[in-house]
Amino acid sequence: MSTVSNLLWRPKATYNSASEWAQATHNEASLKSLKPPTDRIADCEWLLQLAGGKVIGDARLVASREDAVIGQLQSLLGIENPAAHWTVSQKRVRWTIQMPGISFLLGVGAGGNYYHWLFEALPRLDYLRRSGLAIEDIDHFVINQAALPFNLQTLDLLRIPSSKRLHCSKRRVLECETLLVPPMPLARSDKVAPWVCQFLRRTFLPAHPAKTCGARLYLSRRDSLKRRLANEEAMEKLFSVHGFTIVRPETLSFQDQVSMFAGASVVAGPHGAAFANLVFAPSNTRVIELFHPEHQTRLYKDLATELGMSYECIVGTAPFERAGAMSEKLGPYTVELDQVKQLLMKMT
């Protein structure tokens, strides 16, 4: 008799990595070595093949047929003690769904975020290519539960038919006849690997070249629920005076974003996932990033540097009661207009 307790999926073991799991369970043959490409050296040159492999929840975890969670994959990337991670100990009712054929895990834990989808999910297709397999050889591409417009548009451009798109669910365990799991593209460090940039540029730029060149783009976050500029209206007016086009990237198709950034000369705005589009911009693009004082990251500075761009940033101020708040709860902040004016004057 099935009970709620029986449906609370729990791991029976946890391994720190795919290689540790393979050695401990004598499944070394499941790690299919890939020939390193000539243009890069990667940390993990393998494709994990799991008979009866499982995807737990919304692409958060990967487990073996025996319910052993494998570390350094999905949400466990960079986690030294995966057994203690919240995704492993989380109790949730999940129904197991059996999937025949070959499934390729494309989605990632944060696949609903534009940056993570571009830089962590889509480049995994390069591992598929290097394994000698093609899209036609795969029965199901496992993607995240919620499909946002940019998810669907990129999959359309990659010619992955909707009939092959298998959505995860927080309420499901997908047990696949054969599950192919690529390594995480950011396995070396938090920095974007050069090959990921090259993959994205050669995959999408040729079909979506710049429509105009020399554009100055200001990326507005006026409709964002978090980390929004309190003086956004005044900031947009200031950038407009200096020849910037005010852009709300979330209102544009993926194709239009690629074309727009392909012709950019300057990209500015509050920190957000839209800066991921820098990967499509020319190497001489200038970047100005505005930060909430409690949420600063080197992510796009490192990306700009990797692409040969010049980079500047300004850190704003926020009400005292916001100090130390979790990043997902951060409210509006202010960046002084005079600081921005001085920076813009230097660029003219």
What range defines the domain where residue 328 resides? Answer: 215-347
Torsion angle of alpha carbons 233, 236, 240, 241, nearest 10°?
Answer: 70
Is the pLDDT at 40 greater than 70? The verdict is no
| Residues 25 and 162 grouped into a single domain | yes
Same domain flag for 180 and 317 = no
Domain end point (choices 202, 229, 248): 202
CA 164 vs CA 53, 107, 141, 148, 196: distances in Å: 18, 13, 6, 17, 24
pLDDT digits (tens, 9 = 90+) for 200-216: 999 999 999 998 899 99
In tens, the pLDDT along 220-268 reads 998 887 888 999 999 999 999 999 999 999 999 999 999 999 999 999 9
In a shared domain, residues 156 and 263: no
Please tell me the distance from the alpha carbon of residue 177 to that of residue 97, in angstroms, as a whole number.
11
| pLDDT score at 346 | 83
Mean pLDDT of 303-308: 95
Q: pLDDT value at position 41? A: 47
% of the chain with per-residue pLDDT over 90: 75
In a 3-state reduction of DSSP, which class is residue 98? strand
Average pLDDT over residues 34-50: 69
Answer yes or no: do 188 and 328 share one domain: no
**pLDDT of 318 higher than 60:** yes
184: pLDDT strictly greater than 90: no
Domain boundary among 142, 175, 202: 202
Q: Are residue 221 and residue 168 in the same domain, yes or no? A: no
Task: Using the predicted structure, report yes or no on whether residue 303 has a pLDDT greater than 80.
Answer: yes
pLDDT at 192: 83
Per-residue model confidence as pLDDT tens digits over 56-87: 999 999 999 999 999 999 999 989 999 999 99
Per the structure, how many domains does the chain have? 2
Determine which helix (DSSP H) or strand (DSSP E) holds 127, and give its type and residue range: helix 125-130
Q: Does residue 208 belong to any structural domain of this protein? A: no
Q: Name the pLDDT band for 35 (thresholds 50, 70, 90).
A: low
107-150 confidence digits (pLDDT tens): 998 999 999 999 999 999 999 998 999 999 999 999 999 889 99
Range name among 35-44, 175-184, 223-232 with the lowest pLDDT average = 35-44
| Band of pLDDT at residue 330, cut at 50, 70 and 90 | confident
By the 8 A CB rule, do 104 and 138 touch?
yes
What lies within 8 Å, CB to CB, of 147 at 6+ separation is 165, 167
Residue 207 lies in a domain: no
- Do 31 and 158 lie in a common domain? yes
pTM (global) more than 0.85: yes
Q: Is the pLDDT of residue 33 over 50?
A: yes
What is the rounded CA–CA span in Å between residue 247 and residue 277?
13
Same domain, 52 and 198: yes
pLDDT of residue 122: 97
